[in-house]
Structure 1
Amino acid sequence: REIAEFRKEIALAVVVFDLKKVKLFRVDGLTLYDHTTPNNEGLLYASRYQPGFIAATQGEIHSEIEVEKNGRRFMEAYLPIQQPDTDQVIAILEIYEDVSRFDRQVQTALQQAIALPTFVFVCFNFVLFLIVARADRIIADHTHLLVSIRRNMEKYLSQSAVVAIYQAVSESKELFRGERQPLVVFFSDIRGFTAYSESTEPEQVVEILNEIFEIQANIIHQQGGVIDKFVGDEIMAIFTAGQEANAVRAAINILEAIDQNPSVNQSVGIGIHSGEAVVGSLGTKTRRDYTAIGDTINTGARLCAACPADNLYISDTVFKSLPLNLQAEFSSHDALKLKGKAELFGVHLLRG
């Protein structure tokens, strides 16, 4: 209602004073009102870095005369709207007025004094303060709501999906395209958890599962990895290419942390492999998951499945990329027959 009344007052002032344009901006350049082009409201003012606009944000009245090709002269004025008790600039009023009908003396006087009627300025000052204050409250409420929604949604999106969405928006990339990337894949599976869950109350199953996930996720994050997904009692995590040592340290730290936690009686088996994978958004138009697929991912999952409880299998590719002190933590080269592999696959088992 206040905004509607404000628009009526502006329309009346435009007619009475023969104004060509009237615009109202917030001090950061956001357009609150545009007399000639309402579609610009809510957008940033393109000339917010011009000297006149900047001077008005600092509490100075600025005006200048523009002459069109047909000889008509227009005065463009920027007027700061200030809060009465603090003199803080809360909005900028831009007025564009045809001054061709005035003689040179009146034109000079207008340039020096910006002789807009005082009563209009005072009325605008109060009404604009209310509008700007209300707009700020609305923006603040919406911002708080969006932040709250984002934080809650992040709990249900993988970190890789959050990163992909951010990059797609900030770099204007296609979100749903796939691409090949070198990476390190990390799989961890809780051994015997299916049998445990069948003989345990559901509330306790969820509690212990979340506790084990929390232990693993914290360590993975500390080593620079991101959780791709939780599948049942299994974690899939991704490390960037060159982070093989980080992935192995995360696995060793997880095994130690679970072993030393008196409230956890379960154990995990971990598999780590590195290579190229297809990374992208997979799914339907209404439900997608940003993840990695391919032979590298399948091999990592099969290493995890073949690994003994409370231990770690790494591929020969990962082993060769480790520093000597980490290589010393593993037993001699071994070979496994993995599903989908025609030949034996080279692996290394963590020393007991």
Structure 2
Amino acid sequence: MIPAILIFMVVLSGLLWIAFDQVTRHIYLEQAQARADLIVDSIKDSAPDTWHTFLSGHATDADIHELGIIFKEEIERQKLLSLKAYDLRGTVIYDTNPALIGTIETSQSLREVIVSNQPVLFRKTARDGTLAYEIYAPHLDENGNLRIIFELYEEVGYLDTLLLETAVPAIVVPLVLQLILIGVLGVLVRRAQRDIDQRTDAIGQLSQRLQTFVSASAMSAARNAGNLDNIPSRKIECTLFHSDVRDFTSYAEDNAPERVVYFLNDIMTIQVKIVTHFGGDVDKMIGDALLVRFEGENAQKRAIDAAKAILDAAKRASLARGLGIGIFTGQVISGAIGPKSRRDFTVIGDSVNMSARLCSQAQVGEVVVDTDTVKAAASKGFSGVENIQVKGRAQAIGVQRWHVSALDKSDSSVEGGG
């Protein structure tokens, strides 16, 4: 913004200077024309017959000499640097240098005045070496016919002084005011930018903190919703990972709240780090329980590998309580649940319940997985198929178990997760 304002100021100052220069030149041309008219008036008063003879085109050398005397008097009276007078043929009828009288002037400037009948002004060096303005001022009779052209010389200082006295204040004052305005705007903009940056940083930090409280799926759904108030729900198939701390209730009763929270942070940190490594999305934490969704390619294998790695890490960490994990693959509804004022983006459906039911069947250090998921993952080390009855299902479901004590050190997938 500031460079644009500066460029505008420079352009505006240049245009103002040109405008004042043109106005000043116009005023000076009018003044020169008035001087030429005064010379003619003096001739009319002093030698009307001679002037009439000159206009008729029958002037003699004596007439020209008489006019020259009047021209000389006007130079002294008006304090002109120099004066020339031309007839319509460009013949010099008077010059402060007598040797030039009678010569023919062929300059383009004079021809321009003869053709246009308009005064013109040029900047040039006078005979004495001073810088002056050369002004051609035509004189027209009462019928508008050109009769004589005067060439006057005026010192540059007068016109330049007039220009400076009028243009400089008109340009400098607004320029200074604009510079002050730019300075004030600069201060205000910097303050506003600092405030915006601080607010942006605060919002960014708040957004980062909020992201730690919600799942990646929730953040993605909120971004993709755009300006829509309602986040659309969708039916998807995913592998659900449900973990729970065994005998957590007794631990919570026997320990101070601070120690309980410290323990939960430790065990949740282990789980979240590993499931994230295997591409899982933490849907929610419910007390000591954790619900994770695995979607996309190899979701079953990644979920089982994450479970094995978590149970191995929990065993090596020698935590006060161990974990049991249930894994089930099926269809769920993924969407926002609740009113606009307070919503929860989660997955719901029978498959979510089934993962929780299988988790309840797992012992410490054990993962219980439905047989279809184990088959799809082609995972090693699982026990044989057993049919168990779970709440909410009329028929028994086939499951397989894997225990951390049976960890196969050759299983590269588990070692990668640790």
Q: Normalising by structure 1, report the TM-score.
A: 0.64
Q: What amino acid does structure 1 have at the position aligned with 2:308?
A: I
Q: What amino acid does structure 1 have at the position aligned with 2:381?
A: E
Deviations 1:223-280 (A, max 9, x none): 1111111112111111113311111111000000011113x13111101111210011
Deviations 1:120-161 (A, max 9, x none): 542332222122212211211111221122223233333332
Q: Does 1:332 align with 2:388?
A: no
Q: What amino acid does structure 2 have at the position aligned with 1:343?
A: Q
Q: 1:126 to 1:306 in 2, by over 3 A?
A: same
SS at match of 1:321: helix
Q: Does 1:152 align with 2:204?
A: no
- Report what 1:62 is aligned to: none
Deviation at 1:175, TM superposition (A): 4.3
Q: What amino acid does structure 1 have at the position aligned with 2:190?
A: A
Q: 1:253 aligns with which of 288, 300, 309?
A: 309
Whole-angstrom CA distance in 1 between matches of 2:402 and 2:353: 21
Deviation at 1:334, TM superposition (A): 1.7
Q: What amino acid does structure 2 have at the position aligned with 1:336?
A: I
- Report what 1:229 is aligned to: 284
Within a 5 Å distance, the mapping from 1:73-152 to structure 2 comes to 79-81=4-6, 118-152=175-209
Aligned partners of 2:221 and 2:231 also within 8 Å: no
Deviations 1:294-334 (A, max 9, x none): 011111111111112211111122112113xx2x2212222
Q: What amino acid does structure 2 have at the position aligned with 1:286?
A: S
Q: What amino acid does structure 2 have at the position aligned with 1:149?
A: L
Deviations 1:13-35 (A, max 9, x none): xxxxxxxxxxxx58xxxxxxxxx
Q: 1:346 aligns with which of 367, 385, 398?
A: 398
- Report what 2:240 is aligned to: 185
Q: Normalising by structure 2, report the TM-score.
A: 0.54
- Report what 1:285 is aligned to: 340
Whole-angstrom CA distance in 1 between matches of 2:389 and 2:296: 26
Q: What amino acid does structure 2 have at the position aligned with 1:255?
A: L
Aligned partners of 1:164 and 1:175 also within 8 Å: no
Deviations 1:37-83 (A, max 9, x none): xxxxxxxxxxxxxxxxxxxxxx5xxxxxxxxxxxxxxxxxxx3559x
Aligned partners of 2:225 and 2:231 also within 8 Å: no
Question: Which has the larger strand fraction?
Answer: 1
- Report what 1:308 is aligned to: 363
Deviation at 1:286, TM superposition (A): 2.2
Aligned partners of 1:165 and 1:175 also within 8 Å: no
Question: Which has the larger helix fraction?
Answer: 2
Whole-angstrom CA distance in 2 between matches of 1:152 and 1:270: 28
Q: Does 1:163 align with 2:220?
A: yes
Whole-angstrom CA distance in 2 between matches of 1:81 and 1:146: 34
Within a 5 Å distance, the mapping from 1:200-215 to structure 2 comes to 200-215=255-270
Aligned partners of 2:336 and 2:343 also within 8 Å: yes
Q: What amino acid does structure 2 have at the position aligned with 1:224?
A: G
Aligned partners of 2:222 and 2:231 also within 8 Å: no
SS at match of 1:180: strand
Q: What amino acid does structure 1 have at the position aligned with 2:349?
A: G
Gaps of 5+ in 1: 1-24, 27-58, 60-78, 83-91, 107-114
SS at match of 2:346: strand
Whole-angstrom CA distance in 2 between matches of 1:244 and 1:201: 38
SS at match of 2:271: helix
Runs of 4+ in 1 over 4 A off after TM superposition: 172-175
